[in-house]
Structure 1
Amino acid sequence: MTASPTTPAETLPEGAGPFHVTHRLILSIAVPMTLGFLTTPLLGLVDTAVIGQLGRAEAIAGLAIGALIFDLLFVTFNFLRAATTGLVAQAYGRGDRAEEQAVFWRSLLIALAAGTAMVVLSPLILAVGLAVMGPQGEVAEVTRTYFLCRILSGPAALANYAILGFVLGRGEGTTGLLLQTLINGINIVLSIVLGLVLGWGVAGVAIATVTGEVVGAVAGFAIVHRRFDRKGAPSWARIFDRARLRLLFALNRDIMIRSFVLLSVFLLMTRVGAQSGPVTLAANAVLMTIFMVAGYYLDGLANAAEQLVGRAIGARFRPAFDRALRMTALWSLGLAAATTVLFLLVGRAVVDLLTTAEDVRAAAYVYLPWAAVTAMTGALAFLMDGVFIGATWSRDMRNMMIAAFLCYGVALLVLVPAFGNHGLWASLNLFLVLRGVFLFALVPRRSAQTFRAAQ
């Protein structure tokens, strides 16, 4: 099978057409992105440590609430990264360099428009955030200061989603690592200098974030734009083509709904866990760190699946699709199994490292096995997200997420009253398993339809 029934393979652009999926190719995308993702929690630790040096609990609480508002705000626009990756990967696979560039410009313009709207609407967003989170007094003032400074990063932060989506779509994991390290590295250094050395406190930490995002966006745009093939530059008519814009917005809509449903799962986990008391709630928060650790490299492998699956579909080359699916599954499930075993063996030491409260430690030990197996139960779900994003089967991904969420809700109603916090963790693991299984069950039919339509 060839990349195109009419185009000889030797005339295709580099990277287009049939290709061979290897372990080295998978890891060349997954490893850099995993390392890049790991800089994000390091940034959070540094910001908290910097503000912690001020010796005021109100400052730490205000920073935490402000950061949470931005987490909720930016997760809304994560579709910019995912949809861009899938569409660029498919254009890359079929050798359509003009469409690669057109996807980038569409996503970037949407990002800049949405980011500007965030800045304009910032007073309203802040008011809603404060009303929902409910901070009082000095905590509210700290949150307000942090928010009003950091919101200026909105256009640059969303532009970075589009830029990262483009480089991942082309399989340039090292460039993605470079940009993530640049953004978070500048942020970390300036947080220490501005927040601590110069004594700007929370405002300094927020300004550091703005600077990191802006520098990252400028550098990322320069790197991407310099590599563009000027001969294949798309016209404005192609960039604003209605059919292609509708496809992009449909993908964005489905991925956004999927992200909100996933966020609802973890919000429910926190809310239901809180009913068991502060000690159990704290223990659950500590144990969720284990799930997040596994999530970093599972996300990296999902990124590899996005690019390779999208590229295979763009190239109309079914063998690469099948091999990418098998090999990324092998890596995901193998590493997940190793993670589960590791945390079953050393999980207590990890818990002791994360908290010194003896009552929280004791509660965490009880539920540790449930947290340890989340790597295994979630591996297929992470991987299938990558496959469906790369294939741009976003409607299926959205619908299966909703179906798994409904099952999760039923499980909470049945298992939590019967088994307490054990039932809560069982419900989470069930949700992860079902999400992966539901999507995996659709792969044979959807892949057959996709490659048959491409012939």
Structure 2
Amino acid sequence: MNDRPASLSRRAVFAQAWPIMLGQASIPFVGLVDTAAIGRTGNAAALAGVALGATVISLVFWTFGFLRMGMTGLTAQAGGAGRKSEVDALLVRGLAVGAAIGVALLALLWPLRELAFALFAGGAETTSEARAYVTMRFFGAPAALAVFAVTGWLFGLGRTRAALVLQLVMNLANAVFDIAFVFGLGMGASGVGLGTALAEWVALATGLVIVTRIAGAGPVALARRAGSEELLERSALAHLFAVNRDLMVRTIALLMLFAWFANAGARLGAVALAAQHVLMQFVNVAAFVLDAFAFTAEARVGAAIGAKSRPRFLRAVRLTSEFSLASAVLLALAFWLAGDWIIALIATEPAVRTTAERFLPYAALVPLIGLPSWMLDGIYIGATRGRALRNAAIAATALYIATDLLLRPLGAQGVWLALWAAYGFRAAGLALQLPALVSGLDTARAVEGEAKGG
């Protein structure tokens, strides 16, 4: 086993991160195209409807985001330990679970949709547009969740260029379909939803081709090769479900946090909600770009955990954090300097543009404020410490809601200040548990040494 910290260089980190950065930067492009397709029509109600509908879809789909996160950590650890058969088995399990959950969601479309719109505020016209968008998006659920698993598997193996290809194909397909359905057929919010759903199926087809080339066989052939005994091995499944259970709770807590944030904007009216949605595109770009280094940390930390190497773990954390901080500074400056121009590009309705420009500074500072929480997420996901992620997310969400209620007299300003506080709560909760993670790695290495010595 090679324990030398120098085995991970800045060049290696950047080589792994830049495809993720491009791919992640292009993910908000889906939301940006969706927003611009409606925003350029000048219909504030339709834009607010897509904003509200996108919040509902995020809440439902990303409840199962563990299919991406858990897959990355588990695959990286299996790869770091040299367990090729388990790497293949994880891909098969992930695809099967993702597709099954997606089919179940599609079957439950009506009750889930109606429950969502019973919970979230919005005027009659906004809710009507949002309901049309959500209905179409659900038809892409099986593909979307299976793609989560494929992406997580690729990240875990460090195959970031392949993941970039997958993401770019989906984003290009989404743009083409949106333009065709919204401007060509005049379908409005439902056209945006349908375009994204079809793009998710295109992405799944692309992903299956990619993983077949990497694994040397398709998922069906891999399942036959592994056999039911290995795929259903009790300890592996128990670990998979334990990690995914905690990640699922963590994801639900964070989705509720951002759903509360969206609903806080909805309480202020359609113009405020539409402006907030425009500004959230900046936040999404920041989160997804900085996630490039968080995802690199996931893979590198996971490999270090699999190899039980404390030096590799610490170096992975330090190098990925250095790159992340530099990127956060550049993003904040870019948003501050070019934000007004970007807002004008996205939205044409004057009231929406004026409101978004007024609160741009709050969104521009999110890269710096959110950086610690995003990086710590990557570290804990790679280490598959789901319980720590779960506890920090629950605490952060509860504290955020209390903060939002306290700041409600400040209106939209209070909504953004509460969001800033949420990132701080989450980072603090994870940072407090970091010493235990490092000491746990030392203990695992010591136990392994004793076993070999005995």
What range is the shorter-chain TM-score in? Answer: 0.7 to 0.9
SS in 1 for 2:96: helix
Distance in structure 1 (CA, Å) of the matches to 2:68 and 2:302: 14
SS in 2 for 1:235: helix
Aligned counterpart, 1:392: 384
Matched residues, number: 441
**2:60 is equivalent to residue 73 of structure 1:** yes
RMSD of aligned residue pairs (Cα, Å):
3.5
Aligned counterpart, 2:363: 371
Distance in structure 2 (CA, Å) of the matches to 1:223 and 1:337: 34
The Cα offsets for residues 311-369 of structure 1, whole Å up to 9 and x where unpaired, read as: 11112222211111001111112222333344455555555665667776666666554
| TM-score between both structures, scaled by the size of structure 1 | 0.83
For structure 1, the residue ranges without an aligned partner over 5 or more in a row are 4-16
Percent identity between matched residues is 37
Contact 1:112 1:155 in 2 (8 A): yes
Aligned counterpart, 2:167: 180
Residue identity in the other structure for 1:127: E
The Cα offsets for residues 410-440 of structure 1, whole Å up to 9 and x where unpaired, read as: 43455555x6655543333232123223312
Contact 2:65 2:248 in 1 (8 A): yes
Aligned counterpart, 1:441: 432
Residue identity in the other structure for 1:88: T
Distance in structure 2 (CA, Å) of the matches to 1:142 and 1:424: 24
1:88 aligned residue (75, 95, 103): 75
Residue identity in the other structure for 2:440: Q
Distance in structure 2 (CA, Å) of the matches to 1:390 and 1:147: 32
Contact 2:28 2:284 in 1 (8 A): no
Contact 1:18 1:317 in 2 (8 A): no
2:104 aligned residue (95, 104, 117): 117
Assess, with a 3 A threshold, how the Cα gap between structure 1 residues 253 and 190 changes in structure 2: closer, same or farther.
same
Residue identity in the other structure for 1:306: E
Distance in structure 1 (CA, Å) of the matches to 2:194 and 2:395: 41
For structure 2, the residue ranges without an aligned partner over 5 or more in a row are 449-454
Contact 1:85 1:169 in 2 (8 A): yes
The Cα offsets for residues 243-283 of structure 1, whole Å up to 9 and x where unpaired, read as: 22122122222112222222232333344456667776665
Aligned counterpart, 1:337: 329
Assess, with a 3 A threshold, how the Cα gap between structure 1 residues 30 and 156 changes in structure 2: closer, same or farther.
same
| Aligned 1:14-33 pairs, distance under 5 A | 20-33=7-20
Contact 2:328 2:367 in 1 (8 A): yes
Q: What's the offset of the Cα at 1:42?
A: 2.7
Q: What's the offset of the Cα at 1:296?
A: 1.9
Aligned counterpart, 1:102: 89
Aligned counterpart, 1:216: 203
Q: Which piece of structure 1 moves more, 281-290 or 110-119?
A: 281-290
Q: What's the offset of the Cα at 1:140?
A: 6.7
Distance in structure 1 (CA, Å) of the matches to 2:121 and 2:306: 49
Contact 2:36 2:346 in 1 (8 A): no
Assess, with a 3 A threshold, how the Cα gap between structure 1 residues 274 and 218 changes in structure 2: closer, same or farther.
closer
2:226 aligned residue (215, 219, 234): 234
Assess, with a 3 A threshold, how the Cα gap between structure 1 residues 197 and 358 changes in structure 2: closer, same or farther.
closer
SS in 2 for 1:234: helix
Q: Which piece of structure 1 moves more, 103-112 or 209-218?
A: 209-218
Contact 1:102 1:239 in 2 (8 A): yes
1:425 aligned residue (416, 433, 448): 416
Distance in structure 1 (CA, Å) of the matches to 2:99 and 2:178: 25
Contact 1:18 1:315 in 2 (8 A): no
Q: Which piece of structure 1 moves more, 371-380 or 153-162?
A: 371-380
Distance in structure 1 (CA, Å) of the matches to 2:197 and 2:416: 37
| TM-score between both structures, scaled by the size of structure 2 | 0.83
Q: What's the offset of the Cα at 1:52?
A: 6.7
Contact 1:30 1:297 in 2 (8 A): no
Contact 1:187 1:208 in 2 (8 A): yes
Contact 2:392 2:429 in 1 (8 A): yes
Distance in structure 2 (CA, Å) of the matches to 1:370 and 1:387: 27
Q: What's the offset of the Cα at 1:213?
A: 2.0
Assess, with a 3 A threshold, how the Cα gap between structure 1 residues 435 and 70 changes in structure 2: closer, same or farther.
closer
